[in-house]
Amino acid sequence: MVEILALAGPSGIGKGFIKKAIVQRFGAGFFIEPVVATTRPRRPDDGPDRLPGIPLTEFWSQVEQGEIILNHQPFGVTGHWYGFLSATLNNTSRPVLTEFHVDNIVPARNQFGNRLILIGLVATDDSYLRENIANRSGDFHEATEVRVQAAKREGSLIAGLHAKGLINVVFEAKRQNKQTLRYSVTDWVSNRLT
């Protein structure tokens, strides 16, 4: 039985858009969204699926106790730490819908096996990524370019992990196919979960 449905893709690819489409297709309450714990400060748009502002020592204590799993630093060794609250990711009362950073794909597959469906999202169009990243973050040009290059590297990693059978399916996001992508992914998920 599928218990966890996760999207993997770089920043700006449209994971949030696809998650909303999946929730709309299945209805509110069908999925559970696990809580992500992080050392970064609280943001105004943080919802109930975020537990921000955890001091680093407390974060690591929870990792050691197994309360936080799949911990990683998606923005490099000087960035904040992120991880899932184990109790919310392992909840089996309803399927879980979430996002995994590319760094967590192998550990997640090892931990959850066939209970996990991984959907990769990639983009080969630099202008699509550049526009989405710039609109999302409001970054200066240099910061946007750094994120675009990181997104391209993540896309290559996702393609490689798919070739190894660690990601179930990969969809390409393009400016011209946003609505088509929405229906393609939600139809694919519907066929897997029903």
* pLDDT at 194 (0 to 100): 74
Q: What is the pTM of this model?
A: 0.87
Q: Residue 161: pLDDT above 90?
A: yes
Task: Please tell me the distance from the alpha carbon of residue 168 to that of residue 118, in angstroms, as a whole number.
Answer: 5
Q: Residue 187: pLDDT above 80?
A: yes
Report the phi/psi class of residue 66: left, alpha or beta, with left for phi > 0 and alpha for psi in -120 to 50: left
Whole-number average pLDDT of the chain? 87
State the alpha helices, DSSP H only, in the chain.
15-26, 56-64, 86-89, 105-112, 126-137, 141-163, 178-193
Contact 77, 61 (CB under 8 A): no
* pLDDT at 136 (0 to 100): 61
